[in-house]
């Protein structure tokens, strides 16, 4: 049985976001799934998110972790391991977002997962293609690029979770 931890990004990932759809599908398939609402999701602070992630992680002991956007950086900096780690549309670790400065700098690029998957889009304003390739190399991850998926969220018109579900 899969134990899955899903970590949202800035502002959360409520329906129609693909993370909410994926969480629902996993629960219906009887997988143990945690999709917590992290503290102050509209004005996140790294230390609060890290502490919440560690607390949930230590109880769930997930074998699969799926992160979106700034949740990717929060999870990497929380330094927890898993069998599979999916980093979907992370923001650039080299270009801090003013409202999210507490998540930076990212000093070390290390995935503590047995398998790491980086999933990006060719037109994401938060991560360039060159940055995505560099990040994939540093994390020694498999890299999938989705065409015209923006930030891979509902705001960019992306709501389908099939791109990740078949890799779990």
- Report which of 72, 116, 107 is spatially closest to residue 91, judged by C-alpha positions: 72
148 pLDDT more than 90? yes
67 neighbors 38 (Cβ within 8 angstroms): no
pTM more than 0.85: yes
5 neighbors 56 (Cβ within 8 angstroms): yes
8 neighbors 70 (Cβ within 8 angstroms): no
What is the per-residue pLDDT across 22-71, written as a single tens digit (0 to 9) for each? 999 999 999 999 999 999 999 999 999 999 999 999 999 999 999 999 99
In order of their start, the domains of the chain are: 3-165 (3.40.50.1820)
Task: Give me the mean pLDDT over the 134-154 stretch.
Answer: 95
Task: Quickly tell me which residue has 């693909």 as its tokens.
Answer: 18
| Residue 68 token pair | 């979106």
Task: Give me the mean pLDDT over the 109-131 stretch.
Answer: 94
- Give 84-127 as a DSSP string: EEEEESPPPTTS--GGGGGG---------EEEEEEEEETT-TTS
Number of alpha carbons in the 13 Å side-chain half-sphere of residue 86:
25
Residues 6 or more apart whose CB falls under 8 angstroms from that of 137 comprise: none
What is the per-residue pLDDT across 75-116, written as a single tens digit (0 to 9) for each? 999 999 999 999 999 999 999 999 999 999 988 877 889 999
| Torsion angle, alpha carbons of 106, 50, 23, 30, to 10 | 120
């Amino acid at each position: 049985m899969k134990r899955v931890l899903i970590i949202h990004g800035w502002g959360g990932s409520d329906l129609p976001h693909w993370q909410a759809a994926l969480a629902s599908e996993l629960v219906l398939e009887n997988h143990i799934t945690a999709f917590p609402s992290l503290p102050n999701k509209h004005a996140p602070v790294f230390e609060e998110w890290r502490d919440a992630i560690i607390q949930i992680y230590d109880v769930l002991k997930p074998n699969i972790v799926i992160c979106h956007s700034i949740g990717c950086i929060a999870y990497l900096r929380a330094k927890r391991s898993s069998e599979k780690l999916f980093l979907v549309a992370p923001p650039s670790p080299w270009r801090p977002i003013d409202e999210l400065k507490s998540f930076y700098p990212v000093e070390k690029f290390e995935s503590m997962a047995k398998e790491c998957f980086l999933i990006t889009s060719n037109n994401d304003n938060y991560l360039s293609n060159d940055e995505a390739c560099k990040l994939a190399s540093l994390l020694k991850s498999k890299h999938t690029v989705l065409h015209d998926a923006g930030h891979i969220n509902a705001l960019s018109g992306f709501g389908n979770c099939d791109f990740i579900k078949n890799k779990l």
